[in-house]
Amino acid sequence: MTRFATGGRIDRAQPLRFRFNGRALHGYAGDTLASALLASGIHFVGRSFKYHRPRGIVSAGHDEPNALVQIAGAQGEPNTRATVLELTEGLAATSQNAWPSLAFDAGALIDALHPLFPAGFYYKTMIRPNWHVFEPSIRRAAGLGVAPAGIDPDLYVQRYAHCDVLVVGGGPAGLMAAQAAAESGARVVLADENGDLGGTLLWREAVAEGLAAGAFAAQATAQLRGRSNVTILTRTQATGLYDGNYALLCERPAAPGGGRPALRLWKVRARQIVLATGLHERPLVFPNNDRPGILLASAALKYRNHYAVGVGARLVAFINNDMGAADALALHRSGVTVAAVIDIRDADGTATGAALAGAGIAYRPGSVIRDTAGRRRVRSVQVCGLDGGGSQWIACDAVIMSGGFSPAVHLFCQAGGKLRFDESAAMFLPDRAPDGVRTAGGLNGAFGLDAAFAQGAEAGAAAAMDCGFQAPSQRTPIAAGKSPAQNIAPLWRVDVAGATKRQWVDFQNDVTDKDIGLAAREGYTSVEQLKRYTTTGMGTDQGKTSNVNAIAILGLRTQRTPQAVGTTTYRPPYTPLTFGTFAGQARGLLQKPMYRLPTHDMQAQEGAVFLEAGRWQRPDFYPRPGEAREDAVRREMRETRGGVGLFDASSLGKLLVSGRDAGRFLDHVYINRASNLAQGRVRYGLMASEHGIALDDGVFARLGEHQYLVSPSSGMTGAVFAHMQEWLRCEWPSWQVAVQNVTPQWATLAVAGPKARALLTALGTDIDLDAKSFAHMSFRDGRVGAWRARVFRVSFTGETQFEINVPAAFGPALWRELRNAGRPWNAVPLGLEALLRLRIEKGYIHVGSDSDGTTTPDDLGFSQWRSKDFDFIGRRSLLRPEAQREGRHQLVGLVGTDPAFRMPVGAHILPRIGARPPATAQGRVTSSCISDALGQSVALGLLASGRARLGETVELYFGGGTFQARVVKPVFLDPENQRLV
Amino acid sequence: MRGYSAFSLLRHALGGHAGWLRAIPDAAPKPAYDVVIIGGGGHGLATAYYLARQAPKLRIALVERGWIGGGNSGRNTTIVRSNYLFAESAALYEFALRLYEGLGRELNYNIMLSQRGVITLAHSHHDMDTIARWATSIQMQGIDSEVLTAKQVHAEVPILNTAPTTRYPVFGGFVQRRGGTARHDAVVWGYARAAAALGVDIIQNCEVTAFDIAAGQVRGIETSRGAIRAERIAMAVAGHSSVLAGLAGIRMPVTSYCLQAFVSEPVKPLLDTVIMSPGTGVYISQSDKGEMVIGGQLDLYPSYGQRGSPHILESVAAAAVEQYPVLSRMRMLRQWGGIVDVVHDSSPIIDRTSVGGLYINCGWGTGGFKAIPAGGWCLADLVAQDRPGDLIRPFGFARFTSGALVDEAGAAGIAH
Amino acid sequence: MSDIAPSNFSLSSRTGGVRIERVALGAMVRVTLAPGRRDIEAGLEAAFAASWPASPNHVMAADPAIYWFGPGDWLVQTATTRSEVVAARLSDLIPADGGSAVAVGDGHVGYDIGGRDAAALLASACPLDLDRFASGRSARTLFAGANVLLHRRDDEAFRLLSDRTLGAFLQDFFAAALREFS
Amino acid sequence: MFLIPCPHCGERAQMEFSCGGEAVIVRPASAASDEAWADYLFGRANPKGWHYERWCHVHGCGEWFNLLRHTVTHAIRGPFAIRDAAPKVPQ
C-alpha cells in the first residue's frame, strides 16, 4: 500500500485509468504521472542518455532529470517530465531510450564497458578513416524521444499584457508581494506554474495566522481574486525575462480542446518585477547514487502530503543539513517509515539527533553512504564513517537525499542579475539585481514562512512605489513561527576509503565526478568548457539539480571556490516550451500579412493559379483544361500580341509626392530628371541607392506644378516609400515635400495589345484615345465605362497599353466590363509570368532579375545621370573606380542558336567557345523565354563589356551541358516602337 | 598531432584515465613575443596553429579575454559549406572546406565533420531562378553543387511542410553535398591543443586594454595581466572588432549585431541534412545528439548585448514551425545570441591595418565558423609575409574606397 | 459593392464576448503637409476649430471624424459628405506647394470590435497597452504584423482601420483569433 | 524587447520601429575624395556602450528621430530631433 487512504490534494472521487509501458494502471485527478506511478510502487521509469542505466523519479517538479516519458498519439510529445504531467483519463506513456524494453535494454551493454566511454571520449577516437563511418550509428543511439508525426491538432494562442508589477511565483513570498503591490493600487500580474497558488504552503505542514498553511493560501488567494487590479495566472510558467522587463509566460489552460487553447503564450511588459521563484533541492553526490528509488527528500515529502503517496515502506535518508532532517522526520511522522538518517555532520551542536532519536529513527552522524545496491530499485545502502570505518549495509526500498538547496536564480540571471556564492549557506544567491527586478523568499535563500512573508510584502510594496504608487498601509507582519536554520555542511562528493563506484552529478547526461576530474585534468577548467566537454547541465533539465554540484566539484579539482569557478550563463527558456507556443495563431497564410488585388476574387473565378510576389497574391497564369504552365503562359503571350490582354496591375505602387520641392526631390531620388517633365506627361525613372546600385525602376507622372505620382515596382513600394521618407526627414528636412502612399486606394486595370484601343472604345470613354492627342507616356482623366478614371499610357508589354485607375472598390465591376467589351477580340487575362516574358521580348529590364545588388545603372545601359551636375542619391558612388571599370558586366540580349530551346536563367557565359568549368564566367542569363512572336529563343543577360561585343557568338554552361547564343542589343521585338503608337 | 585513438582510449581506460595529458594548456604571459594573436576563438587559434607550423622559430602567444571558444566559435550553428556566389568568396570558403576535410586527422582531434549536405530552398519561381544562377556559379568554380526539383527536395527532407495552404511552398532548391556541420567546440579545442603542442603560449583571462604604438608601428599591448611586447600583432575578435581596433585608433567599416539561435530537446533522427531558407531566413540542422539547431535573422540594430529581441525569436520559430510542422510539439530547450560583426557586403576583412605590424581578421558576419581554417591560414600567411596573398587580396580595406565590394548579401540575399 | 474581402463580414464568439464587424467607412480624405508648414496647419485648425485633433494620437470622433495619423498627417472621415467634396474643401486650405489632400476612402477597410472580450482579442496580436488606451484615443500600431490604426470608441468598442489590400488577411486572422473566445 | 520613446506616441514596443544606424553622419559633397566617401558609406563608430543613432516609428506615426542607446544594456535617453548633435553621454 503506497497510496494513503486520506489526505493529499487528489480527488479520490475521480479515478483515472492510464497505461505505462503498456501496463494498465490507475490514479486520481490531481495526480501527476509520477505520483500515480509511485502510488503503484513504480520508481524505475527510464534509462539514462549515455550508459542506459536504470533510472527512477528524483524530483516532484520541473527540475526532474530522469523521469522523461514519451506520450503517444497525435497529441503526443517526446521527453515529457512525468513529474509535471497531469494525469488524464486514458493517458498512454512509455519509457524512452530503452530497447527492446525498459527492463531488458540492449543499450545497457554500454554501462558494462563504461571505462571506454569517459567524458568526451568521442573527441579522442573515430577520427580515422573519418567521422562518417561512425556517425550514423551514433545518431541512431542518441536522441531521447520520438517527435510526433502528423499535423498538430492543438490550438495555440498568444496575449500581450501590461502591468506595473509582475510577480513570478505564487508561494508564500509571491502571495505577499502581490498583495502588497495590489493594495497600493498597482496593476499586478501574479504567475504560478501550479493549479493553485500557495507553493510549499500546499504541502509543507505549517501554521500562518492560526490557519493551516493550505487554508491560509486559499484565503490569500481569495483576497487577491477579489481585486480588480490583479490578474492571477495559475498553471503558468515564466520561461523568459528579456530586456525592458519583458517576460514570456506559458499558460496551460485547464481542460483544453473543444476550441479552447492548449497553450497560451503571455507576453508581459512589466514596469517592475518581483521574483519569488523559490529553491531547488540538490541531490547528494555519492557512489551509485543514481539507482531507482533514490530521490530528493523534499520530493518524497511532497508526494506524501500533496499526492498522499508513500515513496517506500522503509526509507533511508542521507543529508547534510537540517532541512533534510526535518523532512525525514515529517515523513516518518506521517507514516512513511524512515529507518535511518545518515548525516555527514557530526552530532555536536545540532538538535537534529535528539529529534530523530525521539521519533525512533536511527541517526548516524558523521557518516556517508559509500555504495548502494539494487539493479532496478535500490535495495540497500552501505554506510560508513568519514574515516571509512564502521561500514554497515542497511536494507531499504527508497533513499531520500538532501544535499542543500539552489535558489532558482535562472530568471534573475536572464534579466542580467549577478550572483554571489554564500559559503555558509552553500548556495549561489542573488547579489546585484538589474533595474526593476526584486527577489524574495526562497530565492534569497530564506527558509521558513515568516521570512518569506516579510520579504515578499516588502518587495511588492517597494515595486509598487517605484511605479509611483503610495506605500500600502503598514500591515502587521503575518504570524508564522520562527524560521528554521539550514545548518548545512556541504559535501560535494563522497571521498572516503572504498568509495570507488561512480558518483553521478548529472543524472540525465551521465556525468560523474570522475568525468569532471578528467575535464579538469585535461584543462577544460572554465565552467563553460566543463559544460561543453562533459555535457553536464546540457540535458532537458538544463542542470537544475546538478549544476551547483558540478561547479563545486570542479572547484575542488582546481583549488577554486565555487565563487571563483562561477556559473554558466543562464539562458531562456527556464523550462522547455514547444515551438508551437511561439507560432501561436500565425500558421499557414496567417504567418505574415499578404496583400490581395482588388479583383482577387474575379481572378480566382478566371481560374488563376496564384503565387506570392513581394507579399502580393498575384495570378501566375490561367490554365485552360489540360494546359500546363508553360503552354498557358505562351498562349497568353500570343493572344496578347495578337489581340488584347487584361491584367490587374494594382500592385504597382502609387506614391503621391507633393510640395514646393517635389520636383527637386525627385531629381535627387532618380538618376534621371523629373523637374523638367511637362504636366500630364509620364516618364520612366530609375533610382539608385547611395551605393550607386540600381534600386528600383518605374514611372512617374507630373500631376501638377507641385505634384507627382510615382509608381515603384510592385514588391518595392514600401521600400521606396521608406527610402524617400528617410532622405526627406534625415537629409533634407527643410525641403517642402509631402509623400503619401495611396496604392491601396486604386484599382489599376491594364489593357494591352494591338486591340487595346478598340476595346476601350467599345467599352466607352470620353477620353480621346487617338495616338496624337493621347500619346504613349502620358495620362488623361475622364470617364471610362461608368466610372471616372485616370488612364495612363505606359507599357511593360511592348504593346499599346492603357492602365485604367478607378477607386479600388470599382475594380471588380470594371474588370467585368473589360471582359465583356473584350469578347470580340478574345481578350484574355494575362498572368504575371506571361507579362514578365512579354517584357523580355521588348527588352524592358526587371530590377531584381536582370540586376542584383551589384548592378549599376550604367551596367543596365542607363547613363542619363551623367548629364546631371548635382548630387543625386548614388551619384558619388558611381564615380568610384569600380563603377567606371572596364569589363563590367553589361546588359545585352542573347538569341539562342536553337530557337526551340529556352536558355535557362542562371546559365553562365564561358570565357570562350569550347571552354569548360572550372572557368571564370563572362556573365550570365538573367531572364529568358521562347518568343513565339519572333520564332526565337531570346534572353537578357549580363556580359563582360557586353555592349562592345554585339554580334559575337558565345557559349553558355548550365547543368553540365552547354549551348550557344548570339549577343545582340537588349531589344528583340519592335525596336522602332511601332507597337507603342 | 598524435596521442588520441581508440587504442590510447583503451590503454588509458586501464589506468582509470588518470594519465591523459593536458589538452588545453594555460600559459602565463611572457614579457615579449615575436607575434601576439588577440582572440582565442576559432580564427585566432587557427592562426596560431598555422603560423607556428609555417614558422617554427617564431615565439607566438595568443591572448584571450575570457576562455577559448567562448565567443562566436561556441555560439554558432556549426554549418560548413563553400557554396558562395562570387568566385572570390567561393575560393576562400572552398579552401576552408578542404582544410576542414582533413582537419580531424591533422589535429588528431575528432571535429565530427559531417558532410551531410546543405540544401538551399526556393519558395517561388523567382527563387528558383536565383538558385539556378547560384548553383551554376558554384559549378563554374569547380565546386560541387546540384539543382533539385521540389520532388527531390521533399524526398530528401520528408519533414518539410507539403500542405497546399503553407505559406512557404517549396519549388525546389540546390544542394552542396560536401557541405554539412562540424562540432564547433572540437574545432576550437583541436586547434588549441595542436598550437600549444607547437609551442604557442595560449593565455586565457587576459584582456587587451591598450596598444603600444610608436611612429605608426605597433610595439606591443597592455593587458589585464601586464604588458607584452611584440612587433607583429594579429586581431581576430569577431563581434568586438570595432572596439579592439578602436584601441589602436582604427575606425572600422563594421557594425555589430546580435544573431539569435536556439536548439530543441534531443529527439531521434528527423533530419539528416542542413536546410537553409534564404526566403524566410530560417536555417536548421539536427545535431548528432538529436537537438534541432535553428538560426534566423539578425536583430537589425547595433548590439553587444548577447540577448536578442524575443519578437525576432518568435518570428523565426513561427516560420520554422510553418516549414517543419513536426516542430510544433517539440520543445525549445535553449536560446542564445552571438555578436557578429557585419560589413556592408557581408564579406570578411583580412588585411594589414593603417598601423604597421597590426593585422586584422574580421567581418565574417554570420558565417565565420565555416571559414575558420581559411581565416586562420590566411591571417597566419599575412603575418608571416606582411603582404596579402591571392586568396585575401579581394578582402582588404581597399575595396571600400574603390567600391569593388564582394557583395554576397546584395547578390544572394543571404550569407549565413 | 463587390470586394477583395466580404464587406458583410461579421463574426461573434459563441459566448458573445466579442463581435467583429466590417464597417462602411464612407468618405475619407488623407491630409499630408510638407514639414514646417505650420501656417497651413494653423489654417486647418482654424477651419475645423474644436474638431481638429490638437494633440497626437487623438481622434475627434464627431462627423467629420479626424484622426491624427502622424506629424503633418491626418485622416478625415465622414459618413455624410462625398469624399470629393471634403477633399475639395480641404484642398482650398492647402496650397499645392505645401501638401496634399486626397480621397483615400477606397483604400481602407474598417472593423468594429466590441464586447467584453474585445480588448483581449486585440491583445492577442497587438503590442499596445490597451489598459492605458482611453476612449477617444487613436494609435497607429501593429496587429498580426499588419499596420493598423486603432481607435478606442469606448470601454468595449474599438475601431480598427487598415489597408483595403489587407482586408482578406485581417478577416482570416480575426476568425482564427476568435476561436480562443468561443 | 525594449521600449522606445517616440516623440509623438510615447513609449512603444521596439517591434514598431526600425533602426537607421548611427546618427548625424555628415554626407560629403560630391567633390569629396574616394576615402572621405568610403568613410561616409562604411565607417562606423560601432561603440560598445552609448550609441547615438536614428530610429523610425515605421509601424506607427512614421517619424524619424534620434536616440542615445547603450548597446549592451539597451538603456535609452531621448528622443532627440534628427538634427540635434549628440548629447553628453550619461555616466
Average pLDDT for chain B: 95
With H, G, I as helix, E, B as strand and everything else as coil, classify residue D3: strand
Judge if the upstream peptide bond of residue D79 is cis by omega within 30 degrees of 0.
Answer: yes
Kindly state whether D13 is in contact with chain A, defined as any CB-CB distance less than 8 angstroms: yes
Q: Which DSSP letter does residue B279 get?
A: T
Query: Which residues have a Cβ under 8 Å from the Cβ of A228 and sit 6 or more positions away?
Result: none
Tell if the CB–CB gap between D58 and A875 is shorter than 8 Å: no
Q: How many CA atoms lie within 13 A of C178 on its CB side?
A: 21
Which residue of A596, A733, A740 is in closest CB contact with C4?
A: A596
Q: What is the pLDDT of residue C4?
A: 53
Characterize the bridge pairing of strands D3-6 and D10-13. Answer: antiparallel
Contact B137, B143 (CB under 8 A): no
- For residue A100, what is the DSSP state? B
Q: How far, in Å, CA of B284 to CA of C94, rounded?
A: 55
Given a cut of 50, whether residue C1 has pLDDT beyond it is no
Question: Which is it for the CA torsion C28, C29, C32, C38, positive or negative?
Answer: negative
Sign, Cα dihedral of A577, A578, A581, A586: positive
D62 to C139: CB separation less than 8 angstroms, yes or no: no
3-state secondary structure A862-926: CCHHHHCCCCCCCHHHHCCHHHHCCCCEEEEEEEECCCCCCCCCCCEECCCCCCCCCCCCCEEEE
Q: Are the Cβ atoms of A579 and B321 closer than 8 angstroms?
A: yes
Strand partners, A747: A806
Return the biggest CA–CA distance within chain B.
Answer: 67
Confirm if A734 and A635 have CB atoms less than 8 A apart: no
Q: Which has the closest alpha carbon to A555: A546, A564, A545?
A: A564
Q: Determine if the peptide bond prior to D28 is cis (ω within 30°).
A: no
Amino acid in position B74:
G
Pairing of strands B274-277, B282-286: antiparallel
Q: Whole-prediction pTM value?
A: 0.96
C-alpha dihedral sign at C149, C154, C158, C159 = negative
| pLDDT computed for residue A474 by the predictor | 67
- Please tell me whether the peptide bond between A430 and the residue prior to it is cis, using omega within 30 degrees of 0: no
Q: How far apart are the first and last CA of chain A?
A: 97
pLDDT of residue C83: 78
pLDDT value at residue A1: 53
pLDDT of A73: 82
pLDDT of the residue at D90: 83
* Cβ–Cβ pairs < 8 A, chains B and D: 70
Cross-chain residue pair D13–C127, CB shorter than 8 Å: yes
Kindly state whether A244 is in contact with chain D, defined as any CB-CB distance less than 8 angstroms.
Answer: yes
Contacts of B344 in chain D (CB under 8 A): 41-42
Nearest to A234 by CA among A212, A250, A247, A220: A250
Q: Give the model's confidence band at C15: pLDDT under 50 very low, under 70 low, under 90 confident, else very high.
A: confident
Q: Fill in the DSSP letter of residue A676.
A: T
pLDDT at B143: 96
Phi and psi angles of residue A500, each rounded to the nearest 5 degrees, phi first: -100, -20
Query: Is the pLDDT confidence value at B414 over 60?
Result: no
One-letter amino acid identity for A507?
A: F
pLDDT, tens digit (0-9, with 9 covering 90-100), for B158-196: 999 988 889 999 999 999 999 999 999 999 999 999 999
Contact A421, A561 (CB under 8 A): yes
Among A737, A418, A908, CA closest to B135: A908
Query: Which chains have 3+ CB pairs within 8 A of A?
Result: B, C, D
Residue with cell 483576497: A223
Q: Inter-chain contact A579–B410, Cβ cutoff 8 Å?
A: no
Pairing of strands A156-168, A188-191: parallel
What DSSP string runs through C125-170?
A: T--S-GGG--TTBEEEEEETTEEEEEEEEETTEEEEEEEGGGHHHH
Whole-angstrom Cα distance, residue B368 to residue B78?
10
Distance between CA atoms of residues A181 and A466, nearest Å: 10
* Grid cell locating A409: 536564480
Alpha carbons A107 and A141: distance in angstroms, whole number: 8
Q: Report yes or no: B274 and B116 within 8 Å, Cβ to Cβ.
A: yes
Q: Are A760 and A751 in contact (CB under 8 A)?
A: yes
Start-end of H helices in D1-91: 34-42
- pLDDT of B412 reads 57
| Cα A591 off chain centre by | 13
Instruction: Identify the closest residue of chain B to D71 by CA–CA distance.
Output: B303
**Cα–Cα distance, A170 to A234 (Å, whole number):** 8
**How many Cβ pairs closer than 8 A exist between chain A and D?**
51
Test B333 with A576 for CB contact under 8 angstroms: yes
Closest CA to B267 of B333, B180, B181: B333
Q: In angstroms, what is the C-alpha Rg of chain C?
A: 17
B56 burial type by CB count under 10 A (0-12 exposed, 13-18 middle, 19+ buried): exposed
B254 contacts B242 by C-beta, under 8 angstroms: yes
Measured over the CA atoms of residue B80, residue B82, residue B88 and residue B92, the dihedral's sign is positive
Q: Which residues of chain A carry a pLDDT beneath 50?
A: none
Cβ contact A39:A47 at 8 Å: no
Chain B contact set for A558 (CB, 8 A): none
CA distance A390 to A367: 9
Q: Rounded CA gap, A217 and A233, in Å?
A: 15
Confidence at residue B416, expressed as pLDDT on a 0 to 100 scale: 40
pLDDT at residue A870, as a whole number: 82
CA distance A144 to chain B (A): 5
Residue from B413, B414, B412 nearest B86 by CA: B412
> Do A385 and A367 form a contact (C-beta atoms < 8 A)?
yes
Nearest C-alpha in A relative to C98: A659
Decide if A730 and D64 are in contact by the 8 Å CB cutoff.
Answer: yes
What chain B residue is nearest to A142 in terms of C-alpha separation?
B289
Give me chain C's average pLDDT, please. Answer: 90
User: What is the structure's pLDDT at C58?
Assistant: 81
Burial of C134 (0-12, 13-18, 19+ CB in 10 A): exposed
Long-range contacts, A216-222 (Cβ 8 Å, 24+): A217/A175, A220/A175, A220/A176, A220/A179, A221/A175, A221/A196, A221/A197
Peptide bond into B302 cis (omega under 30): no
d(CA A934, CA A637): 12
Nearest Cα to Cα of residue A909 among A889, A934, A929, A928: A889
B322–A532: do the CB atoms touch at under 8 Å? no
A205: number of Cβ within 10 Å: 13
d(C-alpha A360, C-alpha B84), whole Å:
75
Q: Looking at chain B, which residue has its C-alpha nearest residue A962?
A: B136
3-state helix, strand, coil in chain C (%, to 5): 30, 35, 35
d(CA B124, CA A612): 8
Residue A866's pLDDT is 83
What average pLDDT does this structure show over C66-91? Answer: 88
Q: Please tell me the distance from the alpha carbon of residue C164 to that of residue C105, in angstroms, as a whole number.
A: 9
| pLDDT at B413 exceeding the cut of 60 | no
